[in-house]
Structure 1
Amino acid sequence: MEWAFDAEVIEWRGPAPYFFVAMPEADSAELKEAARSLIYWGQVPVRVVIGEAEFRTALFPRNGRYLVPLKDAVRKAEGIDEGDIVTVVLRPGRADED
């Protein structure tokens, strides 16, 4: 399965600033059900495509949605900053499933 959506880049300030894209609630619920066997500690391993960048990460659950963490290398390569709207395509799966 694959999900594609447009969403705003948000910054979450914890001990260090992190940037995320929040998956829509309906898509998050669908993903949670479809990827049930992959979920560990609430996180879902995925392959993400944003622009020309493709990378692996784990989605974090927060307030009924999954958050897609954006690596600094991806943000810099794609010219992405807080408040930008990006198109995200993701597929659940572990790295060993390539």
Structure 2
Amino acid sequence: MAIRMSPEVAAQVEDRFDNLSQDFFNLSRLIGTARDTVESACGTFAADMQAYTPNFENGWTKTFDIGSECAGLIAGNTNQLQVDLEKVDRDASHQTPITL
């Protein structure tokens, strides 16, 4: 007995993660603007903040880039694997194939 999502459900999940991947990608491109906003909001302390805002920008850019890549991988792998649960339940893991 293998469990798989129906094609309709799999399409919804894939679409959701595709959209999330794109959202993360778009956000990572806006971080430079956020950095400028942070610096300008500091007023007379802007010069002091300029030493730290590159770390802010780099950290969030990497976070969103990783999120985008991971969500894209999840979307691409949705419903691509199946496991025979009856064999797993019988502890036949040494002979349970994973179908790609």
More helix by share: 2
Quick check: TM above 0.5? no
Structure having the higher Rg: 2
